[in-house]
Structure 1
Amino acid sequence: MAQAFAEKPVEDSVAKVNNEVAVGEDLEFQRKWWKFERGVWIVFYLILLLDVLGFFGRGWVAKKEIIATDGSIDVKFERIERTSTPSILTVKFGSSAIQHGEVELYTSGSVVKELGAQRVVPSPKTTTLGQDGLTYTFPATTPPASVEFALEPTGPGIRHFVVQVPGFAPVKADIAVVP
């Protein structure tokens, strides 16, 4: 037997204004939220700008060049590096640094220990372990002679290093290594 169901319209319990659903609004909260969103977008744009400029490594701000006061060497490196990311430290020698067809270069131990020197190009003729560092001897006849150190820092922090031709002015610098 079929039962007759009484048809009854569905009733809406949500209040309506002008035949539209009325949802509460808090304009003061909404304005605060928009202000917060604007602040977040500004922070995102600043981070992006800093990254493009090189504040987190590999950019215009990260590159540094220091020339010894006596002109014996010119050192180019990245002052902001990333942990376990390869980079190059380049040392160019002035004509006064080349003596008897050779050039000597002292590097502090931090270049090997903290900055993780992987290789030296060209290969040195001799390497001498000395007080807090290494002294390399390279064959060189005429400027521009240069040496490149392939670095790969092992951990974050501020790393200090010294590079110099023995008997000439040293170049002292810092590299910030970020994670």
Structure 2
Amino acid sequence: MKKDHTVSRDSPIKEDLRWVRREWRIQRAGEYLLILLVVLGACGLFSKGFLSDSRARSPDGTIQVEYERFGRVESNMDMRIRYNAPTGDRFSITIGGGALDNLQIQTLQPQPLEAVTTGSDLRLTFSARDTGPDHAIWLGLQPRNAGRIHVTVHGGDHAPARFTQWIYP
């Protein structure tokens, strides 16, 4: 006599195929979820990668910031600021919005002529001939705390570039 494998049985072990099928579906969904998380992580959802790379610009286009949207506590993050409007030998960039309460500057190129803090904002003054034709500034940052960080970057009296970074533990 041939056994039917599509019905529940009592021997040798009692099983209910309805629950077995549910367990199989849950396992399959978990496998797909884990694969999706690995692929998204490799693409930059949790740190460096094309999903993390982003740009922000001020409404008038004078400030352009390339930054990492996602980072981890105590890992290095890069930021590049371009300022298109300076006239004269010196110009200033202000990094604010409370960002420096949660971000520590590890490297800064070129070195500023002057750095002044006002509250939680940092104003950096540079020589125009040190920053090249596009007045580019590179920062190496390290997040101190997990959470959302609001950042504003502005130069002189121009409108700021605003963006948010997400820091994972």
Over the aligned positions, Cα root-mean-square deviation in angstroms equals 2.0
Any residues of structure 2 matched to 1:32-47 within 5 Å, and which? Answer: 32-47=22-37
* CA distance in structure 2 between the aligned counterparts of 1:71 and 1:32, rounded to whole angstroms: 55
Q: Secondary structure at the match of 2:59?
A: coil
Q: Using a 3 Å threshold, how does the CA distance of structure 1 residues 150 and 30 change in structure 2: closer, same or farther?
A: same
Tell which deviates more after alignment, 142-151 or 103-112.
103-112
Structure with higher Rg: it is: 1
> Are 1:83 and 1:178, in contact at CA under 8 Å, matched by a contact in 2?
yes
Counterpart position of 1:153: 143
Count of aligned residue pairs for this structure pair? 157
Structure number with greater CO (CA < 8 Å, separation at least 6) is 2
Any residues of structure 2 matched to 1:106-117 within 5 Å, and which? Answer: 106-108=94-96, 110-117=98-105
Deviation at 1:31, TM superposition (A): 2.2
TM-score by length of 2: 0.83
Which structure 2 residue ranges, 5 or more long, are not aligned? 1-10
Q: Secondary structure at the match of 1:135?
A: strand
Q: Deviations over 1:90-145 (max 9, x none)?
A: 10121x2x221222111116343211122321110111222541211111145222
Deviation at 1:55, TM superposition (A): 1.6
Counterpart position of 1:135: 123
TM-score by length of 1: 0.79
Percent identity between matched residues is: 22
Equivalent of 2:70 in 80, 103, 107: 80
* CA distance in structure 2 between the aligned counterparts of 1:62 and 1:54, rounded to whole angstroms: 5
Which structure 1 residue ranges, 5 or more long, are not aligned? 1-21
Tell which deviates more after alignment, 100-109 or 145-154.
100-109
Q: Deviations over 1:4-26 (max 9, x none)?
A: xxxxxxxxxxxxxxxxxx73363
